[in-house]
Amino acid sequence: MNRVLACLFGSTLLVFLFLATAVQPVPAQQEQPTHIFHRLIPAGDTCATCHKAIYAQWKASPHAANGVECTVCHGETTAPDFAGKPGLSTCESCHSDQVAQLKTDSFMKGKTCVSCHQAHVFVEHKKADSAGQ
Ligand code: HEC
Ligand code: HEC
Ligand code: HEC
Ligand code: HEC
């Protein structure tokens, strides 16, 4: 009798676990960063040498004003865990409230931080007039 119950309980749990993982949406901005191999940076070059447009956007952003450098989000380019696309966990270290809201609020379903905040500009709203800059 007990074995039957245990077996029933076990299989219900398995079905539940399966459903729980199967219905998880796949976020565009991953929970964890995606890693790439960045080529070695020639001596004397900085991020701005090659990533001019991104550098300009970042320079004008609240992150530059608060000392949140490229490597704070992406890591060192030479490090094995250099993040090509920083994940939610990166934002979470400083904006835990917003990440918590993104994960729980039904209005946020399927969205990521960069759905609403253009990466590197990161002002409160994506501005329509900044699209061509
Ligand atoms: C000499 C030119 C050069 C310099 C300097 C440089 N990069 Fe890059 N970076 C590239 C190129 C080219 C790519 C495209 C992918 C590749 O070839 O690795 C790239 C890609 C990237 C990517 C995105 C990868 C992806 O997943 O799409 C990031 C993030 C990045 N660089 C950050 C940095 C940071 C941060 C610095 C400064 C520490 C920097 N880069 C300095 C040339 C450069
Ligand atoms: C506040 C965190 C943050 C900082 C600071 C930051 N990035 Fe990024 N970066 C991101 C995120 C998030 C993405 C992925 C955007 C996406 O998924 O569309 C990204 C993507 C990139 C990419 C690849 C995609 C693209 O837009 O071409 C490059 C290259 C890059 N960053 C370079 C830089 C450089 C250079 C700096 C400094 C001038 C910098 N980043 C500073 C968060 C950051
Ligand atoms: C090392 C800490 C740090 C990290 C990591 C970080 N931020 Fe920020 N962020 C700040 C600071 C500091 C400010 C400016 C003060 C403020 O508005 O909270 C800011 C400002 C912002 C703003 C603008 C708020 C405004 O008032 O205009 C947005 C949007 C934002 N961050 C999004 C992100 C996203 C998305 C990520 C992940 C890709 C991220 N941040 C990663 C520290 C960080
Ligand atoms: C559905 C669009 C949307 C998404 C997704 C979104 N935001 Fe925002 N965010 C906004 C708007 C609109 C504001 C400004 C209004 C406000 O203050 O509530 C804002 C404000 C902010 C601010 C300024 C402080 C504040 O609370 O007013 C920060 C920091 C921020 N967002 C970070 C993030 C991070 C990190 C993520 C990802 C976890 C994220 N946001 C996802 C729309 C969004």
Q: Is position 6 within any domain?
A: no
pLDDT at 47: 94
Tens-digit pLDDT profile for residues 21-58: 444 444 456 777 777 778 888 999 999 999 999 999 99
Domain that holds residue 121: 28-130
| Distance from residue 62's CA to the centre of ligand 3 (Å) | 7
Q: Is position 68 within any domain?
A: yes
Q: Is position 10 within any domain?
A: no
99 ligand 4 Cβ < 6 A: yes
Query: How many domains would you assign to the chain?
Result: 1
Q: Is position 12 within any domain?
A: no
pLDDT at 123: 82
Q: Is position 5 within any domain?
A: no
pLDDT at 28: 55
Q: Is position 55 within any domain?
A: yes
Tens-digit pLDDT profile for residues 83-126: 999 999 999 999 999 999 999 999 999 899 999 999 999 887 65
3-state secondary structure string, the chain?
CHHHHHHHHHHHHHHHHHHHHHCCCCCCCCCCCEECCCCCCCCCCCHHHHCHHHHHHHHCCHHHHCCCCHHHHHCCCCCCCCEEECCHHHHHCCCHHHHHHHHHCHHHCCCCHHHHCCCCCCCCCCCHHHCCC
Q: Is position 44 within any domain?
A: yes
Q: Is position 14 within any domain?
A: no
Tens-digit pLDDT profile for residues 30-40: 777 777 778 88
For ligand 1, atom 22, the nearest C-alpha belongs to 84
Ligand nearest to the CA of 95: 4
Tens-digit pLDDT profile for residues 68-83: 999 999 999 988 889 9
Ligand 3 pocket at CB < 6 A: 62-63, 66, 68, 72-73, 86, 90-91, 93-95, 113, 117, 122-124
91, 99 Cβ separation under 8 angstroms: yes
Rounded to two decimals, the pTM is 0.85
Residue 52 in tokens: 């001019």
